RNA sequence: GCGGGUGUAGCUCAGUCGGUUAGAGCGCCAGGUUGUGGCCCUGGAGGCCGGGAGUUCAAGUCUCCUCACUCGCCCCA
């Protein structure tokens, strides 16, 4: 074994890829039902797009980006998050001209240079949505509800939905000041990373996991007290709408998120079973980002959902979505004389829309039957010297363990009819 | 970047106090059945015991280094 997949990356093998496809189709379906359109953006962007949007001091920008220069010296970065590229594409292609809001979804890879562990990889994949051009709290609630409906439909329950409002930059600055003042006295007792956060990213002190820090920051001021009136009203409407939609949620005044561009609403869906990780979906409102990136002042809302984390959650729940692929028909070609005729038969079957597989190398009947069994095919068609001579084919129902002969000419249609009947019989019997 | 754990067959793992030719189950291939899958039986292929150095008469086993994987910290999906 010489080459390996790079650290923190994974091959998605045939044994698993059907699970991915099933989730992707489900997500697409749910997004389309809500009026969202799919968008795909490049795998890399100008580095500055991310440093401007995510924030210079965040960990993603300061130590986790896969950045490089191309052969003509352009500074580029593999997409470390989903939102900024879409906002860039929205501005660049003037998507807003078609009427607001623009409702988008995506399924994509994300790259971050991190130490891998359970539920965390250097390349991972996300489902996401972005609704650009509406400040209505209905959008926040609708998209959170969409995430919940999707998670529920694939079997990810139970989860905890946490929401918070972090206000607008001006109100947040006031709050951060109050926060710093209130912990200044105990600063020396906080953990080393909280002491660093105090200077660089004070809000993050709120969700430190250290019990000691938790205790010391216990009666720190509540961000809700510092919200501007518009943010407070918006948050109230979001909560009302979520309640009206029948969603259980928890207001967590300590919920903060890693990107600088968030305003007002932030939320996370948290689940058990992801190792040290617990967020399967997170997002919020980013009313300043479009303008920050050079577009017109435009409010927006979005979320990202980790596909690997979702899969881990489903596995832990014992939930499966979709089915592994299997053949409808397996063609056994016994003897030299049946090789070409058998290939032609398989092609005929495929033309009718049936999945047909076969074995190669003219192996023994036993070996071919064994492979037929493994293929999951309901029906095996056997073509040997006898069949060729009589222009017939032997059909074997692998479940009923019965076999009979059919005329070779035109048998594909009969096979299709038989399988449709057999399947419906099976459904009727349960 | 910093800690802990684990590296033996394609996969999951045994391997005693350091001892002679390194094992099992599953999977794969073949045969038992010269045209019939699953169950059963028999046989076969498949190993740089992660890599390097050291200790020893002798190392899969002990020591050190290194690499990889993995779990956790930081942070995030």
**What's the pLDDT tens digit per position in A115-128?**
999 999 999 999 99
Query: Is A242 found in the same domain as A163?
Result: yes
- Residue A183 in any domain: the answer is no
Residue A347 has pLDDT above 90, yes or no: yes
CATH number at residue A351: 3.40.50.800
* Res A295: pLDDT: 97
CB of A59 nearer than 7 A to strand B: yes
pLDDT tens digits for range A219-263: 889 999 999 999 999 999 999 999 999 999 999 999 988 788 899
Query: Is A359 found in the same domain as A311?
Result: no
Closest CA to A287 of A267, A254, A265, A256: A265
- Confidence bin at A271 (pLDDT 50/70/90): very high
* Res A239: pLDDT: 98
- Residue A202 in any domain: the answer is no
- Confidence bin at A217 (pLDDT 50/70/90): confident
Q: Which domain holds residue A371?
A: 329-423
Share of chain A above pLDDT 90, in %: 77
CB of A372 nearer than 7 A to strand B: yes
Share of chain A above pLDDT 70, in %: 99
How far, in Å, is the CA of A210 from the C1' of nucleotide B5? Answer: 23
The residue among A297, A317, A337 that closes a domain is A317
Query: Is A335 found in the same domain as A310?
Result: no
Higher pLDDT, A196 or A2: A196
- Residue A274 in any domain: the answer is yes
- Confidence bin at A150 (pLDDT 50/70/90): very high
CATH number at residue A126: 3.30.930.10
* Res A1: pLDDT: 52
Query: Is A346 found in the same domain as A280?
Result: no
A371: which residues sit within 8 A by CB, 6+ positions away? A330, A359
Tally of domains in chain A: 2
* Res A218: pLDDT: 83
- Confidence bin at A189 (pLDDT 50/70/90): confident
Query: Is A408 found in the same domain as A297?
Result: no
Residue A147 has pLDDT above 80, yes or no: yes
Query: Is A346 found in the same domain as A244?
Result: no
Determine the longest span between alpha carbons in chain A, in angstroms: 96
Residue A339 has pLDDT above 90, yes or no: yes
How far, in Å, is the CA of A367 from the C1' of nucleotide B30? Answer: 10
pLDDT tens digits for range A35-75: 999 999 999 999 999 999 888 777 777 788 999 999 999 99
Contact, A59 vs A80, CB < 8 A?
A: no
Point out which residues pair with A331 in neighbouring strands: A358, A381
- Residue A220 in any domain: the answer is no
The residue among A260, A289, A317 that closes a domain is A317
Residue A386 has pLDDT above 60, yes or no: yes
Contact, A274 vs A118, CB < 8 A?
A: yes
pLDDT tens digits for range A25-40: 999 999 999 999 999 9
* Res A188: pLDDT: 84
pLDDT tens digits for range A288-323: 999 999 999 999 999 999 999 999 999 989 899 999
CB of A15 nearer than 7 A to strand B: no
Query: Is A238 found in the same domain as A293?
Result: yes
* Res A4: pLDDT: 83
How far, in Å, is the CA of A365 from the C1' of nucleotide B43? Answer: 20
Residue A429 has pLDDT above 70, yes or no: no
* Res A428: pLDDT: 63
- Residue A178 in any domain: the answer is no
* Res A257: pLDDT: 85
* Res A187: pLDDT: 85
The residue among A317, A342, A359 that closes a domain is A317
Residue A430 has pLDDT above 60, yes or no: no
Nucleotides, chain B, CB distance < 7 Å: 1-3, 28-31, 33, 35-38, 68-77
* Res A146: pLDDT: 98
CB of A29 nearer than 7 A to strand B: no
Query: Is A309 found in the same domain as A345?
Result: no
How far, in Å, is the CA of A175 from the C1' of nucleotide B52? Answer: 57
Query: What nucleotide is nearest A281 when CA is compared to C1'?
Result: B77
- Residue A204 in any domain: the answer is no
The conformation of residue A238, written as its DSSP 8-state character, comes to H
Query: Is A389 found in the same domain as A240?
Result: no
> What whole-number distance in Å separates Cα of residue A412 and Cα of residue A408?
8
Query: Is A307 found in the same domain as A242?
Result: yes
Query: Is A77 found in the same domain as A143?
Result: yes
Closest CA to A140 of A30, A263, A305: A263
- Residue A428 in any domain: the answer is no
- Residue A120 in any domain: the answer is yes
Query: Is A100 found in the same domain as A232?
Result: yes
Average pLDDT, rounded, for chain A = 93
In DSSP notation, A88-143 reads HHHHHTTGGGG-S-EEEEEEEEEE-----BTTB-SEEEEEEEEEES---HHHHHHH
> What whole-number distance in Å separates Cα of residue A355 and Cα of residue A153?
28
CB of A211 nearer than 7 A to strand B: no
């Amino acid at each position: 074994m010489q080459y390996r997949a790079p650290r923190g990356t994974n091959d998605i093998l045939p044994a698993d890829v059907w699970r991915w496809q099933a989730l992707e189709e489900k997500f697409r379906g749910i997004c389309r039902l809500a009026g969202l359109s799919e968008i795909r953006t490049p795998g890399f962007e100008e580095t500055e797009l991310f440093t401007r949007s995510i924030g210079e001091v965040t960990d993603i920008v300061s130590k986790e980006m896969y950045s490089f220069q191309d052969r003509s010296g352009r500074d580029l970065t593999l997409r470390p998050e989903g939102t900024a590229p879409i906002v860039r594409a929205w501005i660049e292609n003037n998507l807003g001209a078609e009427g607001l809001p623009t409702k988008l979804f995506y399924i994509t890879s994300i790259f971050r240079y991190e130490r891998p562990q359970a539920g965390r990889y250097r390349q991972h994949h996300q489902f996401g949505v972005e609704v650009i051009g509406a400040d209505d709290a209905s959008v926040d609630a609708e998209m959170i509800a969409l995430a919940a409906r999707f998670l529920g439909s694939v079997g990810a329950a139970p989860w905890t939905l946490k929401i918070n409002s972090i206000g607008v930059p001006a109100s947040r600055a006031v709050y951060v000041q109050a926060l710093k003042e209130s912990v200044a006295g105990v600063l020396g007792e906080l953990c080393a990373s909280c002491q660093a956060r105090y200077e660089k990213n004070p809000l993050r002190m709120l969700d430190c996991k250290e019990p000691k820090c938790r205790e010391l920051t216990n009666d720190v001021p509540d961000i809700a007290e510092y919200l501007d009136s518009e943010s407070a009203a918006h948050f109230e409407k979001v909560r009302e709408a979520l309640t009206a939609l029948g969603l259980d949620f928890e207001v967590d005044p300590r919920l903060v998120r890693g990107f600088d561009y968030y305003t007002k609403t932030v939320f996370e869906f948290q689940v058990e079973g992801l190792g040290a990780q617990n967020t399967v979906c997170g997002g919020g409102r980013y009313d300043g980002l479009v303008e920050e990136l050079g577009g017109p002042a435009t409010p927006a809302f979005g979320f990202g959902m980790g596909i690997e984390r979702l899969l881990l959650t489903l596995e832990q729940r014992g939930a499966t979505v979709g089915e592994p692929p299997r053949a409808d028909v397996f063609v056994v070609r016994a003897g030299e004389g049946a090789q070409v005729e058998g290939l032609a038969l398989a092609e005929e079957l495929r033309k009718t829309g049936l999945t047909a597989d076969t074995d190669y190398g003219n192996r023994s009947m036993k070996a071919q039957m064994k492979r037929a069994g493994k293929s999951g095919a309901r029906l095996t068609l056997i073509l040997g010297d006898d069949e060729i001579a009589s222009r017939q084919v032997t059909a074997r129902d692998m479940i009923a363990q019965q076999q009979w002969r059919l005329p070779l000419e035109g048998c594909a249609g009969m096979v299709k009819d038989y399988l449709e009947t057999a399947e419906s019989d099976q459904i009727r019997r349960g």
